[in-house]
Amino acid sequence: MTAAARRNPLVHDRRLLVEPSILSADFARLGEECASALAAGGDALHVDVMDGHFVPNLSMGPVVCAAVHRACPEAFLDVHLMVTDPARWIEPFAKAGAGHLQFHAEAVPDPAPVAAAIRAAGMTAGIVINPDTPAEACFCALAHVDTVMLMSVHPGHAGQSFIGRVLAKGPALRARMSPGQRLMIDGGVSPANSAECRAAGCDVLISASAIFGAPDRAAAIAAIRG
């Protein structure tokens, strides 16, 4: 099944979505871990891509994304590019089964052509801002993207503490976004703060350690969903 043909929950579901981030999965058993997160109620899988340059860590690339796609062909894959040159990775991730591709406002001088190229490759497009980046930095991108994502940790690792002050950006963004656009939040999201995230206007909640590290993943996802 092609990414374009797969049902895109970011577009077709109006309800709140919870995306397990596979960064905290057991990589030695990645296919089983992805299936477990979906069976526990995950609406899509979040794939964190780090280049060791935009962020000081390396994670996974198109080969791993393609392996996840083969293991769970029905899963919708949301790929978060924490890379210096996102345009270079559009085609490889489209071929690897990504359905949504997100890139950082801090990485590109003009988000419009990057978002257009993502859409031309058959995916939906998202812009991401780091905790210290003001909401205004992505206003110029809003006409060109399907989602905006607030980072609530400094990107690079799973398991960091939630930075609550980023939620102040939610209402300002929501006021400028269309009802069909999604406001996502990523980093340190857990049952302890998900109500605050929802109250700030976030309708896609991403979590790695609070889901993969929980003894009962279904209960963790249900608690995050609220």
Site for Zn ion, rule CB under 5 A: 48, 80, 186
> Which residue of the set 48, 51, 146, 203 is catalytic?
48
Residue 186 annotated to the active site = yes
> Which residue of the set 43, 51, 146, 186 is catalytic?
186
Verify binding: residue 24, ligand DX5, rule CB under 6 A: yes
Residue nearest to Zn ion as judged by C-beta position: 80
Rounded Cα gap, residues 1 and 38, in angstroms: 18
Nearest-approach distance from CB 156 to ligand DX5, in angstroms? 5
**Cβ proximity to ligand DX5, 57 vs 122, nearer residue:** 57
Instruction: Choose one: 96-104, 115-123, 158-166, 167-175; the region binding ligand DX5 (CB under 6 A).
Output: 158-166
Residue 13 annotated to the active site = no
* Contact pick of 18, 189, 204, 214 for ligand DX5 (by CB under 6 A): 189
What does the DSSP assignment read for the chain? --TTTS--HHHH--S-EEEEBGGGS-GGGHHHHHHHHHHTT-SSEEEEEEBSSSSS-B---HHHHHHHHHHSTTS-EEEEEESS-GGGGHHHHHHTT-SEEEEEGGG-S-HHHHHHHHHHTT-EEEEEE-TTS-GGGGGGGGGG-SEEEEESS-TT-SSPPP-GGGGGHHHHHHHHS-TTSEEEEESS--TTTHHHHHHTT--EEEESHHHHTSSSHHHHHHHHH-
Verify binding: residue 61, ligand DX5, rule CB under 6 A: no
* Contact pick of 108, 206, 221, 223 for ligand DX5 (by CB under 6 A): 206
| Residue 208 binding partner per list ligand DX5, Zn ion, none, with a CB distance cut-off of 5 to 8 Å that depends on partner kind | ligand DX5
Query: Which positions are catalytic?
Result: 48, 186
Residues that bind ligand DX5 (CB under 6 A): 21, 23-24, 46, 48, 80, 153, 155-156, 158-160, 186-189, 206-210
